[in-house]
Structure 1
Amino acid sequence: MRTGDQERIAELTAASHAVLERAIEEQVLASGHKVAGIVILFSGGNDSTTLAHLFKDRATHAAHANTGIGIEKTRQYVRDTCEGWGLPLIEKHPEPGSTYRDLVLGQCRARTGPNAGTVLWPGGFPGPASHFMMYQRLKERALEKVRNDLVKNPRRERVIFLAGRRADESARRKPLAGKGPVERRGSTVWVSPLLDWTKLDLNAYRRVHQDVPRNEVSDLLHMSGECLCGAFAHSGELDEIAEWFPEVAAEIRALEAEVLSSGVAKPERCRWGWGANKEAPSKTGPLCSSCDSRFEATSEGGTAA
């Protein structure tokens, strides 16, 4: 352990818990609402693992969006970690008809409203400009289900979502520092207790708390692997995945062949990760913090860490 680690982490820990306390007081109790749940958004990556360890004794639940296009080892890591801590896990999947396979095969259709029955996504694998559609279908709607499970009366209850977003993750995340760590959207209060933490702080936290578990997927691939939509994949990434997780790469390559044979998209867009450095990225969501840094890294000719 380095000199000063304990003092620095003690200060950061106290500040992070104070953020949660203020959010509960100002965004829930002050308006006469009740806390329906305090939920750690746990992807299985390094930041979310630190967040989960930091708040495991205060949270009522953890939540994981099972995107259906990710590495099962990460999903199992999340399940095992929560079980070991006695932390109830809510795992949600995309709705039938809006799975990743449905999207890339052009089979995702509007279910209700004036556009019912129309195709929402033309098919083919996404590039950076199409990332937000993937986020909405694979993650955002999963969180809506989590909220609906916990908030039975939106007029009286609000749920706290703890996210591992940090301002120094990327240039696109820096504006978060000016907005602050708390944001309310309807009956959901988003709290980012690690907003002011740096990568060095995360490393120091692990030195101080040596019981923080590690996800082997993150160690091998430098990403959690819970979502492999491919929107921000870098050149050669599928080969890297194949080296460590050949069954996952085989699944993606089989889907590539299926998309190509379907004729729903131009041949170029029938290849997973085709859009590396070819498009400007669309906006990302609160659960896609790493996507911004991955895009910036690949845009500069490197690989995302």
Structure 2
Amino acid sequence: MPDGVEKKPPKATDDEAWRARTLEEAEQRTFELLDQAIIKYTTGNVIITVSEGKRKGYSVDRGPREVAAIFGLYSGGNDSVVVQHILRRYLAARPLFRHYFRGMVHVNTGIAIKKTTLHVRQVADMWGIKLEELHPKVTYLDLVLGNVKSTRGPNIGRAVWRGFPGPGGDGQPHNVMYTRLKDQPLQELRGRYVGRQGVRRKAMYISGLRWDESDKRFRNAEEIDEKGGIVWVGAIVHWTNAHMREYRTKWRCDKVHRHEPHRMCFDEALPLNEVTANLHMSGDCTCGCYAKPDELDEIAFFHPDDAADIRERERIVREAGIAACKWGKVPPPGFNQQPAGPEEIVTADLCRSCTPGLIQGSLEDDWLAAGLITEDQHRNLRADRYEEAS
């Protein structure tokens, strides 16, 4: 059955971008989007108009457009694995474009659930794909302890953050964590391939943003989004939650037998991350922004070593005398977490599973999104499932 988002997303290019589709039609649209992006950034020359100075208004030819590298972004989550899977199929069908592909990118934030990091490495190895595992320059613990200082502006030398970033606020907690732990490594990778030629050369990142994920994604997600030397391509931006479920059913091994690691039981099998099955999130970042109530207990049930790491960080922060010393909790009233002041909000193109309101793939989440159950019923169902698992 065809499925589509209820109305036209504000940043959809045209009516065809969001209309109802069968899964096969949604896949075809993904191929068309990838074709469109690659052709657009490898065709013709870049002509810019001088905006100031003696030559203001003149046109300048900056040379031929060039895609320096294409990367698939893989957090280890349910949606990003679908992106990598269909990108792999796309490259098999487009031999002329394969030379642009430089591998799969995973940002190792240093605070991931360990099994997610292992999953990503093993999937890349089993697929025979080069893995670019990126690392931030600063650690999460240094951010929380206030050891990361501002290097510009009137508050130079002051801490950019202090304490655990909990839910709430104006988006600054997540913005600071995303910028230091994910965006900066991605910008460094872009620099390695693009250098200072970002006007005409681009690094292309294939992401799993979707209009049907949340109100925020519905408003802001784009099919092709150029930001400096990076072109973000939302290859499955038009896919609905129903498309995602159908695709996973189609390609994931559900035979009653002893599965291969990550359920990669045949060449084109869709991998399954054990962490997403347990926690309904990728687990690539446990910064605590937008943490659900009792999320730490849930992590402890399925992944006790990772919960122990979080509790050890709580001890360190508490002994450092920082009031915001509880992971995933709102900081105490009046506690200033940003001595260096607010920072410009960076679009979190890669950070998905910790954004409030996203559908993580469980049945009760789907029921809630469809309006079939209330918030209270949703909480009770999750609590019942947790008790049964215990």
Q: CA contact under 8 A between 1:62 and 1:87: conserved in structure 2?
A: yes
Aligned residue for 2:83? 51
Cα 1:124–1:233 change in 2 (3 A) is closer
Identity, % of aligned positions: 37
Residue 75 (1) aligns with residue 107 (2): no
Structure 1 residues 155 and 181, CA gap change in structure 2 (3 angstroms): closer
- Aligned partners of 1:123, 1:244: CA distance in 2, in Å? 26
Rounded to whole Å, the distance in 1 between the matches of 2:165 and 2:216 is 24
SS class of match (1:62): strand
Q: What is the alpha-carbon distance in structure 2 between the residues aligned to residue 204 and residue 67 of structure 1?
A: 31
* Residue number among 141, 147, 150 corresponding to 1:110 in the alignment: 150
CA RMSD of aligned residues (A): 2.9
Letter in structure 2 aligned against 1:214:
L
Give SS of 2:106's match.
strand
Unpaired segments ≥5 residues, structure 2: 4-20, 47-63, 92-100, 253-268, 334-344, 360-364, 369-374, 383-390
State the AA in 2 paired with 1:119: A
Deviation at 1:101, TM superposition (A): 0.4
How does 1:141-180 map onto structure 2 within 5 Å? 141-152=184-195, 153-176=197-220, 180=222
1:241 Cα shift? 0.3
1:289 maps to amino acid: R
Distance 1:270 1:169 in 2: 31
8 Å Cα contact 1:131/1:231 also seen in 2: yes
SS at match of 1:109: coil
Distance, in Å, in 1 between the alignment partners of 2:72 and 2:300 is 30
CA–CA distance in structure 1, aligned partners of residues 188 and 176 of structure 2? 17
SS in 1 for 2:247: helix
Question: How big is each residue's C-alpha offset from its partner over 1:72-91, in whole Å with a ceiling of 9 and x where there is no partner?
Answer: 11011111111111211111
Partner SS state of residue 33, structure 2: helix
Question: Which of 345, 349, 355 is residue 286 of structure 1 equivalent to?
Answer: 349
Deviation at 1:117, TM superposition (A): 2.6
Return the offset for 1:109: 1.1
Judging changes above 3 Å, is the alpha-carbon distance between structure 1 residues 186 and 203 closer, same or farther for their aligned structure 2 residues? same
Aligned residue among 45, 48, 69 for 1:37: 69
Greater shift in the superposed pair: 203-212 or 230-239: 203-212
Aligned to 1:220: 278
2: CA distance, partners of 1:36 / 1:100: 31
Matched, 1:132 2:175: yes
User: What CA deviation, in whole Å up to 9, does each residue of 1:138-171 have, x standing for no partner?
Assistant: 1111111221222244354211110100111111
- 2:305 pairs with one of 247, 272, 277: 247
1:126 Cα offset (Å):
3.7
User: CA contact under 8 A between 2:73 and 2:205: conserved in structure 1?
Assistant: yes
User: Which structure has the greater CA radius of gyration?
Assistant: 2
CA-CA distance at 1:118 after TM superposition:
2.2
String of CA shifts for 1:48-104, please: whole Å, max 9, x gaps.
000000102534311111111111110111111111112111111110xx2100011
Normalised TM-score (structure 2): 0.68
How many Å apart are 1:289 and its aligned residue?
2.2
- Say which structure, 1 or 2, has more relative contact order (CA 8 Å, 6+ apart): 1
Q: Give secondary structure in 2 for the equivalent of 1:270.
A: coil
CA contact (8 A) 1:284 1:291 kept: no
Deviation of 1:215 (Å): 0.3
TM superposition shift of 1:107? 0.8
Partner of 1:237: 295
CA shift digits 1:211-230 (9 cap, x unpaired):
10100000011111100100
Instruction: Give 2:37's match in structure 1, choosing from 11, 23, 29.
Output: 23
Q: Give unmatched runs, 5+ long, in structure 1.
A: none
The structure in which a higher percent of residues are helix is 1
Q: Tell me the distance in 1 between the aligned counterparts of 2:347 and 2:291.
A: 14
Alignment partner for residue 86 of structure 1, among 128, 132, 154? Answer: 128
Decide whether the 8 Å contact of 2:213 with 2:358 is kept in 1. no
SS of the counterpart of 2:355?
helix
The answer on whether the counterparts of 2:291 and 2:354 sit within 8 Å (CA) in structure 1 is no
Aligned-partner Cα distance in 1 for 2:106–2:330:
27
1:92/1:145 contact within 8 Å kept: no
In terms of mean alpha carbon deviation, does 192-201 or 168-177 score higher?
A: 168-177
How far off its partner does 1:112 sit?
5.8
Q: How many residues align?
A: 291
